[in-house]
Amino acid sequence: MEMKMKAAVFYGPGDMRLEERPLPRLNDDEVLIRVKAASVCGTDLHIFNGDLEVETPLVLGHDFPGVVEEVGRDVTGFQKGNRVIAHMVRYCGECLFCRQGRYNLCLRNTWMGFEIDGAFAEYVVAPARDVIPIPSEVPLEEAAITEPIVVALRVMDFSQAGIGETMAIFGQGPIGLVQTQVAKLAGLRVITIDPLEERLELAQGFGADHVLNPLKTNIVEAILKLTDGIGVHCAVEDSGSQEAVDLAGEVTRPGGRILFVGEGRRLRGPVVRHRERILIEVLVDPWKYPLALELLVKKQIDVRSLVTHEIELDGIVDLFGGLSEGELKAVKALVRP
């Protein structure tokens, strides 16, 4: 008899349905994982709202911990009961970039929750090479928020900002709040920008040197005043807002760096001219997951404070509806299948 599982299946903007599906087929080199928690990312909401197009039907969700349920016959190193996460990039292992170890740039990659089914389900399968053990010191609900740390670490790679230099972080959602913590850990001076006072309070609690609300403050004037009229060494755009993208362009000094984590935006107009700045789109780097988990082990990053909502899988349709309509004001929501 074919075994079934529950899954939240996305069919189009505003249309998510809780369904029964067959358990994923397990190949010889794969691991079947029982999902214990999955966090809702801003990108999941963008897809739900129709801002990003994906082929449907699709199970969303890409940041999750779980427990190994079964392993393929060629798999070594994992056994039933192991606590694990799996990174979201599925790569070919053969192209130019894979041979360089740059798996996030694989020419034939697919992304969990974007092109292949994700973690808003009771079970997922992943190649064993993409599965990472969770240290015993890390609670599962914290492991469900590993990806924001991975992104923040990748931002630091590209920022090339040194101790005492200034980073402006636009957007204090989960990724921005983690970015604030990672930047402070690296010894940077951090300016955070967000229109929600409660998120600025969190940022201040995480060590932000300056918090600015664009609804109350002229951001360009304030940041230039804080940087002797020159601008920040590095601006990170985490919000996906076109206005924030444009502001990032205005407050970054000549020779500085502007890093984009938010989706689908670009610099416009004269702010891109005559500054010799570097603009970089930041992607998840699978190599950063072990370091992200190590930071959680050492309690150097606080992700637990970001969790404002926890629900069972049966409530996911209402959760996404509430988030989409603005009725729920979540920083980070966890779904427990």
Listed in sequence order, the DSSP H helices in 104-241 are 140-143, 147-159, 174-185, 197-205, 219-226
Contacts of 32 (CB under 8 A, 6+ apart): 23, 24, 26, 68, 69, 70, 71, 123, 124, 125
Same domain for 141 and 57: yes
Query: pLDDT 10s per residue in the chain (337 long)?
Result: 678 999 999 999 999 999 999 999 999 999 999 999 999 998 999 999 998 899 999 999 999 999 999 999 999 999 999 999 999 999 999 999 999 999 999 999 999 999 999 999 999 999 999 999 999 999 999 999 999 999 999 999 999 999 999 999 999 999 999 999 999 999 999 999 999 999 999 999 999 999 999 999 999 999 999 999 999 999 999 987 888 888 998 999 999 999 999 665 566 655 555 577 888 889 889 999 999 999 999 999 999 999 999 999 999 999 999 999 988 888 999 999 9
Q: CATH number, domain at 238?
A: 3.40.50.720
**Pair of tokens at residue 149:** 């740390």
Domain annotation covers residue 296? no
Same domain for 315 and 247: no
Same domain for 120 and 241: no
What are the CA-CA distances from residue 161 to residues 156, 166, 232, 251 (Å)? 7, 8, 10, 15
Q: Tell me which residues are annotated as active site.
A: 43, 46
Give the single-character DSSP code of 330.
-
**Pair of tokens at residue 324:** 């989409």
Same domain for 174 and 112: no
For the chain, what is the domain count?
Answer: 2
Q: What is the pTM of this model?
A: 0.94
- Contact by Cβ (8 Å): 73, 27: no
Same domain for 160 and 106: no
Domain annotation covers residue 327? yes
Element (H, E) at 99: helix 96-99
Domain annotation covers residue 193? yes
SS3 224: helix
Q: CATH number, domain at 98?
A: 3.90.180.10
List the domain range (segments joined by +) for residue 193: 148-281
